[in-house]
A and B are shown apart, each in its own frame.
Chain A
């Protein structure tokens, strides 16, 4: 009985961790930095957070299954480059095209993981090579700027409606869609079931392969949209934009209290995680901390969040 009580208190803690951390981060920074919560700074943060919201939201689904998508960043780079180069030809039609490309990328990952029964981290590491190959060969000179005369096509994304950047509004809508997907569809339920207990889900007749594939497809699609957003935001094709993003996205998911072992979590919590991390990075930036610290800080946040979420008392599962 006592054991049961303890369990509840641990899960309670991780339940509120995302809220505690967001309050803590914004509280501390608003005291230290006078105009941290100012209109300009907030708008900047929103633009900063928008693509990451989508990317981390999609990545959450792979993590719900207990897997991981280490190639999310590379997919962002790849689609960012494609968008930057071809937006001039296709106009804003490029966004649905990129979405399709992303879904296909995710499908490849999903098929490799389920049909060949390979661990997801190795599959996504391998496909990373492919996406970054595409990105780097299309952009051999570092980055490619969207020509000035075509800029009007992409400018809308960073315009503001009632002070809120359109890009951020779209990202929020994306998160809402993801939430519906997670909560009210057969796929969402199956994805959680696979993460919570894959053998039970299998024996209950859940199509576990389909669940895993759909998680990777969602992740791919979201990463692709994020990539397109980066191209719109930076107004250029940058083949290395996603390099550091995988870590940030995983850390956001973990900070939201989603378990790395799978089976529990929510995109809404991921959203709070993203906002917190964006707060941390912009805060450090505004304090004049060397940006070189960013990866270190995010890495430490990731480890800390994962440690708090992990069930150390758990069953005698062998963890490798």
Chain B
């Protein structure tokens, strides 16, 4: 690249060189945008070669089932990462939502029976927690990693407090139906997850709010000058992330029929990895619903494959860590004089 520039030093004026630079950046960006798709194809091919029944309906449904909860988490997290922020409270909120919903519906430890109402209440509370997180971030001007880290710890604590140390077993009819039922061979959980994801994608792509999120992540000053209410948009994003984290927690509780704080454990990090693999950027402004989907799919196939190869779950986490460092390092914009702290 440098050599090519050196050649054109003599022939172009600085203005033209600048325009050339902008063009080059645009082209690089395009290549980067298609890289995840290529990676997906490669992963699928590896899957197909190493597993002979990879392309059976059963396996496809299986992968869809495995990716359902990460997909739900990815909805809110995509918004947060688009802003250039991070939400480390997802695991805590998930744990809380799962524990609290188990507490509210028919279970083995108390006589509550709020059913659907309980689910709605938990989703609302999770949304509120997200909104409060966003509010503290915006009003007190504190970096999100620290606010969300603290909120996450608090929510984990609250979750444990809800069930007083002994995980609650869910006995609710609704939960049992949802966890076992299938439509056309697809589990209800997967269908619900995909519906949530589609709703999130629609909001992101077809509303002014969604565009505002993109604009803030790309160029906050420009966004402010067009009259977008930056603070409110950010609070809404965190509320939405809290909402989807809550829903993910409930789904996880449905799946396991157990309410405990650890259902959120190690759920956030893989999704961050997935979104970055899919083309998102921790610096904000890049990615979107589709790329999050591609990322989660790649990630699920990878995890699936690692399990198949009999890799230890802790090693899997280490691999995750390496992947995210590599992915972030590859996508980071080094031309800007950024200094990371």
Q: Do chains A and B touch in the complex (CB under 8 A)?
A: yes
By a beta-carbon cutoff of 8 Å, the part of chain A in contact with chain B is: 65-68, 70, 112-114, 116-123, 125-130, 132-133, 136-137, 194-195, 198-199, 202, 208, 212, 244, 247, 250-251, 260-262, 290, 292-296, 298-300, 302-303, 306-307, 310-312, 314, 317-320
Main secondary structure of the interface of A (DSSP, over half): helix
Return chain B residues, CB-CB under 8 Å to A303: 136, 147, 150-151, 154
Is B267's beta carbon under 8 Å from chain A? no
**Contact A260-B142, Cβ < 8 Å, known A121-B86, A296-B161:** yes
A residues within 8 A CB of B145?
68, 70, 119, 121
Q: Is the CB of B341 within 8 A of A130?
A: no
Interface window among B25-33, B188-196, B247-255, B327-335: B327-335
Q: Is the CB of A299 within 8 A of B157?
A: yes
Interface residues on B, range: 35 or more
Residue of A nearest to B86 (CB): A121
B257-291 interface with A by 8 A CB criterion: 269, 272, 282, 284
Give residues of chain B (66-125) contacting chain A, Cβ–Cβ below 8 Å.
83-86, 88
A-side contacts of B269, CB under 8 Å: 125, 129
User: Which chain A residues border B83 with CB–CB below 8 Å?
Assistant: 320
Cα distance, A127 to B153, chains bound together (Å): 19
Q: Which of B44-52, B57-65, B207-215, B315-323 contacts A (4 or more CB under 8 A)?
A: B315-323
Query: Which of chain B's residues have a CB closer than 8 A to the CB of A261?
Result: 143
**CB 8 Å contact bits of B139-157 with A (1 = contact, 0 = none):** 1111111110111011011
**Alpha-carbon distance A294/B161, docked complex (angstroms):** 10
| B249: min CB distance to chain A, Å | 17
Which residue of A118, A125, A299, A319 contacts B151 across the interface (Cβ within 8 Å)?
A: A299
Among B143, B151, B282, B318, point to the contact of A260 (Cβ < 8 A): B143
Do residues A129 and B149 form an inter-chain contact, with CB atoms below 8 A? no
Chain B residues whose CB sits within 8 angstroms of the CB of A199 once the complex forms = 337, 339
Nearest CB in chain A to that of B146: its residue: A260
Evaluate contact between B154 and A119: CB separation under 8 angstroms.
Answer: no
- A129 near B321 with CB under 8 A, answer yes
Q: Which residues of A contact B160 (CB under 8 A)?
A: 292, 295
Also in contact, A307 and B142, with CB within 8 A (given A119-B341, A133-B315)? yes
What is the CA–CA distance of A293 and B154 in the complex, to the nearest angstrom? Answer: 9
Contacts A118-B329, A262-B341, A310-B142 given: A299-B85 contact, CB under 8 Å? no
Known: A113-B340, A318-B221, A320-B84; 6 extra A-B contacts, CB below 8 A, are A118-B340, A122-B328, A198-B341, A294-B157, A306-B150, A307-B140
The answer to whether A68 and B146 touch across the interface, beta carbons within 8 angstroms, is yes
Q: Which residue of B lies closest to A135 (CB)?
A: B314
Interface centre among B139, B147, B314, B338 (most CB of A within 10 A): B314
The answer to whether the Cβ of B218 comes within 8 Å of any Cβ in the partner chain is no
| Of A66, A67, A129, A302, most B-chain CB atoms within 10 Å | A129
Cα–Cα distance between A112 and B322 once the two chains are bound (Å): 11
Given A112-B325, A198-B339, A290-B161, A117-B334 contact (CB < 8 Å): yes
Residue in B closest to A294 when the chains form the complex, CB atoms = B157
* Contact in complex: B321, A126 (CB < 8 Å): yes
Determine if B154 and A296 form an interchain contact, defined as CB atoms under 8 angstroms apart: yes
Q: Compute how far the CA of A133 lies from the CA of B319 in the bound complex, rounded to whole angstroms.
A: 11
Considering only CB atoms, which chain B residue lies closest to A112 in the complex? B325
Query: B85 near A208 (CB under 8 angstroms)?
Result: no
Task: Name the contact of A296 in the complex, choosing from B142, B158, B312, B339 (C-beta under 8 A).
Answer: B158
Judged by a CB distance under 8 angstroms, whether B37 is at the interface is no
In the complex, which residues of chain A have a beta carbon less than 8 angstroms from the beta carbon of B334? 117
* Bound: A312/B146 CA distance, A: 16
Q: A9 CB to closest chain B CB, in angstroms?
A: 17
- In the docked arrangement, what's the CA distance between A129 and B318, Å? 6
- Which residues from chain A contact B312 at a C-beta distance below 8 Å? 137
**In the complex, B225 has a CB within 8 A of chain A:** no
Q: A292-B160, A307-B142 are in contact. Are A299 and B318 (CB under 8 A)?
A: no
Docked complex Cα distance between A247 and B147 (Å): 11
User: Across the interface, do B338 and A117 meet the contact criterion of CB distance under 8 Å?
Assistant: yes
B172 at interface by CB-CB < 8 Å: no
Does A118 contact B328, Cβ atoms closer than 8 Å?
Answer: yes
In the complex, A68 Cα to B85 Cα: how many Å? 15
Cβ contact within 8 Å between B157 and A295: yes
Q: Is A126 touching B141 in the complex (CB atoms < 8 A)?
A: no
Closest Cβ–Cβ distance, residue B52 to chain A (whole Å): 32
**Residue numbers in B under 8 Å from A296 (CB-CB):** 153-154, 157-158, 161
> Contacting B141 at CB < 8 Å: which of A66, A251, A312?
A312
B residues in contact with A293, CB < 8 Å: 157, 161
Q: How far is the CA of A296 from the CA of B152 in the complex (A)?
A: 10
A-B contact list, 23 entries, CB within 8 Å: A66-B341, A114-B340, A118-B332, A120-B341, A121-B88, A126-B322, A127-B321, A130-B321, A133-B317, A137-B312, A247-B153, A250-B146, A251-B150, A262-B341, A290-B164, A292-B165, A293-B161, A295-B156, A295-B157, A303-B147, A303-B151, A303-B154, A319-B143
> Would B141 and A319 count as touching, CB distance under 8 A?
yes
* Residue among B142, B154, B160, B341 with max Cβ neighbours from chain A (10 Å): B341
User: B284 → chain A, closest Cβ, in Å?
Assistant: 7
How long is the Cα–Cα vector from A120 to B339 in the complex, in angstroms? 11
Closest A-chain residue to B145, C-beta based? A121
Using an 8 Å CB-CB cutoff, how does the interface string of B294-327 with A read, 1 for contact, 0 for none? 0000000000000000001011011011101100
A310 x B140 contact (CB < 8 A): yes
Whether A116 pairs with B325 at a CB distance below 8 angstroms is yes
Assembled-state Cα–Cα distance A46/B284 (Å): 44
CA distance A154 to B164 in the complex (A): 35
Across-interface contacts of B338 in A (CB, < 8 A): 117
Asked if residues A137 and B332 are in contact (CB atoms below 8 Å), the reply is no
Determine the residue in chain B with the shortest Cβ distance to A130: B318
Query: Bound state CA distance, A250 and B161, in angstroms?
Result: 22
Q: Shortest Cβ distance from B321 into chain A, in angstroms?
A: 4
Chain B positions within 8 Å of A295 at CB level: 153-154, 156-157, 160
